[in-house]
Amino acid sequence: MLTDRIQDAINRQINNELYSAHLYLSMSAYFEALDLNGFAHWMRLQFEEETAHAMKLFDYVNDRDGRVVLHAIDQPPIEFESPHSVMRSALEHERLITSMINDLYALAVAERDYPSHVLLEWFVSEQVEEEKALNEIVAHMDLIGNDGTGLLIMDQRLGDRTADADAEAGEGEA
């Protein structure tokens, strides 16, 4: 049985993950409009991954005999300055999600909720991967600057991302 504090906090995190999915789908739509299909593909997989994160928490609350409560999801940004600024915003967003996961983990420690620890350890590790993948992409985009050819090479690389390689590679190691 979950305590009310843990249940409320996990329910909030379900919404945060669903907002992340919404945000990345909006970023995918932006890239589609620019015909940067590799970036669009990468963001679409990111959307799927965030939906899976939300469902992992959703299932966990139910498994612990809790009650999932969903809230409204905010509208994500729809316009961005440039492909570069999209990836920088995604990195900032992941840093924010990391701090939320850390707070949730600290709450599970304070409440001595060991099953939640175990679940949240997965999310703590996942955030390391999320930030690593985006850090690398942003670093590469910093290097290419305004070079159009570099952007197209990057688009091709991101288009190689596979769903299975998500957690490990992020940018697609193919």
Residues that bind ligand OFO (CB under 6 A): 17, 20, 50, 53, 94, 97, 130
Tell me the closest approach of the beta carbon of residue 109 to ligand OFO, in angstroms: 20
Nearer to ligand OFO, 24 or 30 (CB): 24
Tell me the closest approach of the beta carbon of residue 79 to ligand OFO, in angstroms: 21
Q: Minimal CA–CA distance to 6: which of 49, 48, 57?
A: 57
Tell me the closest approach of the beta carbon of residue 130 to ligand OFO, in angstroms: 5
Other C-beta atoms lying within 10 Å of the C-beta of residue 31: 22
Question: In this structure, what are the phi and psi dihedrals at residue 112, rounded to the nearest 5 degrees?
Answer: 50, 45
**Distances from the Cα of 9 to the Cα of 16, 81, 115, angstroms:** 10, 33, 15
Question: In this structure, what are the phi and psi dihedrals at residue 128, rounded to the nearest 5 degrees?
Answer: -60, -45
Nearer to ligand OFO, 125 or 156 (CB): 125
Nearer to ligand OFO, 97 or 154 (CB): 97
